[in-house]
Amino acid sequence: MIEAGTRAPDFSLPDQDGNQVSLSDFAGRKLVLVFYPLDFSPVCTDQLGLYQEVLSELEAKGAALVGISVDSAYCHAAFREKLNLTIPLLADFNPKGEVSKAYGAWIEGAGMSNRSLVLIEDGEVRWSHAAPNPGEIPGANLIFDALSS
């Protein structure tokens, strides 16, 4: 997992609507990257639903939240619609997992990201967390604690 104090790797990925979203789009703001395995899996559904519930509180703390998985933009669009999500979802689809790998969130051999959180501010990683396994949801309290420190 990428370490605090590291320069955040640049990225540009399509969101659920096909629009390119880059790290530079969040200049001057705190950004929380939420790496997760796959849309529509039961645990990912619970995780993104939980973060959606607290999104307004995170935004009130000056943070933007963006989900990243290896699913396509089309799959992300359907997943957002099904869950009524407003969190942007970025497709780390082609080349598969390139951004996940750059941030150390990739599970080699599984072809997907681990559940990982990365807080970026001013282009630098301020905090990161990787779940012990992809079946464990990192609680929203971890994000709030990272934003407060």
Choose the catalytic residue: 2, 8, 44, 99: 44
What angle (nearest 5°) sits at the alpha carbon of residue 38, between those of residues 85 and 110?
A: 160
Residues in CB range of 76: below 8 A, 6 or more apart: 15, 16, 39, 67, 69, 89, 90, 91
What is the DSSP secondary structure assignment for residue 59, as one 8-state letter? H
What is the DSSP secondary structure assignment for residue 70, as one 8-state letter? S
Q: What are the φ and ψ backbone dihedral angles of 120, each rounded to 5 degrees?
A: -120, 135
Structure tokens at 125: 């990683």
Contact assessment for residue 16 and residue 89, using Cβ atoms and an 8 Å cutoff: yes
Is 44 an active-site residue? Answer: yes
Positions marked catalytic: 44
